[in-house]
Chains A and B, each alone.
Chain A
């Protein structure tokens, strides 16, 4: 018995999709073992997840709620990934966006609502974009590995959040003529700054529109514009790009501004649309789940929609696990981790053909 590994010249689309779907199924199978080990019937658990994510109207709505930030993050990441720029720090860009949105919401309350909401989203975009600049520049100018810098930038963002909610932004309430503090969360932003939701759901329709527009815009940029052309050239062959006079620094910077900015909008949406205040536990892992969906969806419109719908559903269904089966809330993250693991391993099979032969 021996194993022969050969590089595939041009893997077919069917094969790629097949391997990715297969990887996800395999991942689900492995997680099933964990449920089983906890004394649960995995089939029952999966049924609950999928039923509550994709069948009930309420579940579908929650799936869409999750899909909005996921899509925003995932399209931007897909663009960066296709340039071979591994932005792992979308979660940090997301947090900066949320904090900027909070600041705007607290300080510009007297603006008319549509202006205020637009300003919140713009602030989210700018903050996320700014947070993405240092890794892009460090990579372009000093060749510093962006996996490390983007990840570290996430930690910085995370601890800035912790600092703000435990310090300057900690809410103080007045009871009985006394100032009370000590609850680690911010004040709730004024209702005027809340992003409107479709009634009966938590779907924020303005950001739903923004996310769909962003999706289309990113594809238009990627496939139709000179700067998108530059990104594709840089991603495929940076040396040829240099010979053709394309600036790596400029191209990576543009991609990261867009990628970070979209993650920032997702953060602003989470703050002004869903949670309305900052908490130590504010981050929900969209930035990390977005890595999987970006990888799975790639630069394909249906791919992006499908991947984000599926994972949005997993996140929504996962929430039910916590309630119904009394599983720890980290279960959802274990889910994502295991699935990413399998998807990335599956990528090997996309690029290489493995055969086992008997001699």
Chain B
């Protein structure tokens, strides 16, 4: 229980080796996820675990946290050989993990979530929890209202609750899986402050990421993984972004993509005073107006949950607008069906690519015709012409570099990056007029990210209008010709990337700033 491990935690000296993983091997069907991996964490350090998606970072940490069991290899915690067979075992050893997706009960309060299963007193556990919450707030700056309901909290606050949960169980080894992917720049800075305080307390923090900048902002050491292997462990102070990127990808990476000047043409997408509700029936899009022209990338930045998802869904026909208009190429397409809108030349790269973008058990070839199966050239009389389907599949697999054993392979067996390539191939092969790309590189590795961004720029050059929704500010600023910031269902400002700063956009994302004069 918490008391024992807390006692152990107190004994941890700065620099003591908390975790040593030796020769870890983990096989999944057809994949060697961890190939003789060595990893080490010391007390009082923040250790970044860097790698592309699919490099095996999360697998390695899931092994340490007892979610997976290694096929080979040994784990030592504080010098003692251990078998970690479940998260419960991991907790007993003082290991806590904050997952990418939070594991909280929405309709319970913060205190109730923390008390769930860990509080020692049986009669009034909430009192005990609240007392200790105050302690954590003082010690680490982990401020959070114990009586607030989870659904009322921002992503940043929910993450704090997850961290507190781990500390509450007496964790002195904390694993964070891509913790910044849901945060604003300001919230990220807050998180880093908390982590640094934990470092001072002698705790060990493992920080999984694929964002290079974060390594330099917060980590002491960094272990780079590629294709299931460790490429190396370095001191963050003695390396460079370029070196890390090379280690991660295995080749040189271009950080600045060449963005040519393109003459903007006539408007393709016009959104006028659009209103829409979210799934709970509350206003989510509240009077949004903008235009996207030929050869233009129009970026929408914002923290998740500020109406971006609903806006996209209305544009592509998956959600009804309650007021306002969506005009595509001069034709009013408001509240038309997804198929009618797609047939007007609107490509959609959906936010949740697994849930909305592919049919997991159907083959790659069958996934490539998802939007065209009902018409020529794939339809032949009453049947689908599968020889034509395969012929085109081969062509698209080559053109978009989809790595797949064959066109018959079920789409679910592809990696995230290749699934995104598959979606791009399907959506872009038919020369769209407008691309609606929602978080197109979210969760993708550096190589795939670079590829997707290059494709978007290529399409821009061809005169396609692109609406880009992303939480990755770097991406938005790099690709967009204009950037709109959404907050609370409204566009609070439109800026040109060359005329703004990350700070300014961050403030707008947090709702602290509003621009009245908008960039044309």
Contacts and interface: CB of A to CB of B under 8 A. Distances in A.
A237 interface: yes
A233 B386 CA distance: 16
Contacts, number: 70
Contacts of A160: none
B371 A359 contact: no
B413 A10 contact: yes
Nearest to B29: A9
Interface residues of A: mostly helix, strand, loop or mixed?
helix
Contacts of A239: 355-356
A232 B359 contact: yes
Nearest to B381: A225
A2 interface: yes
A341 interface: no
B362 interface: yes
B83 interface: yes
A115 interface: no
B339 A245 contact: yes
A9 B386 CA distance: 27
A10 B339 CA distance: 32
Interface string A205-242: 00000000000000000001110011011001101111
B345 interface: no
A230 B386 CA distance: 15
A329 to B, nearest CB: 41
B122 interface: no
- Interface size range of chain A in the complex: 20 to 34
Contact of B371 (A4, A224, A245): A245
Interface string B328-359: 00000000011110100000101000011111
B360 A236 contact: yes
A244 interface: yes
Contacts of A225: 382-384
B338 A245 contact: yes
A142 interface: no
A236 B374 contact: no
Nearest to B366: A229
Contact of B374 (A4, A226, A357): A226
B360 A237 contact: yes
A226 B370 contact: no
Contacts of A324: none
B87 to A, nearest CB: 13
A119 to B, nearest CB: 26
Given A10-B29, A226-B373, A244-B371, A233 B348 contact: no
B359 A240 contact: yes
Contacts of B379: 226
- Max chain A C-beta neighbours (<10 A), residue from B338, B359, B371: B359
B362 A243 contact: no
Contacts of B357: 240, 243
B439 interface: no
A309 to B, nearest CB: 27
Contact of A226 (B340, B355, B371, B384): B384
B306 to A, nearest CB: 22
A224 B384 contact: yes
Interface string A1-42: 010100001100000000000000000000000000000000
A225 B318 CA distance: 25
Given A229-B373, A237-B355, A242 B361 contact: no
Interface string B448-492: 000000000000000000000000000000000000000000000
A243 B318 contact: yes
Nearest to A9: B29
A267 to B, nearest CB: 28
A240 B370 CA distance: 9
Interface string B68-79: 010000000000
Contact of A237 (B69, B358, B382): B358
A89 to B, nearest CB: 26
A224 B383 contact: yes
Contact of B85 (A2, A241, A242, A245): A2
A240 B371 contact: no
A359 B338 contact: no
Given A229-B373, A242-B318, A243-B338, A359 B360 contact: no
B438 to A, nearest CB: 11
A13 to B, nearest CB: 13
A236 B360 CA distance: 7
Contacts of B384: 224-226, 229
Nearest to A10: B29
Contact of A240 (B69, B358, B382, B383): B358
Contact of B359 (A4, A226, A236): A236
Nearest to B83: A359
Given A230-B373, A240-B357, A359-B85, 19 more contacts: A9-B28, A10-B29, A224-B384, A225-B384, A229-B369, A232-B362, A232-B366, A233-B359, A236-B359, A240-B355, A243-B338, A243-B357, A244-B338, A244-B342, A245-B317, A245-B338, A245-B342, A245-B371, A359-B83
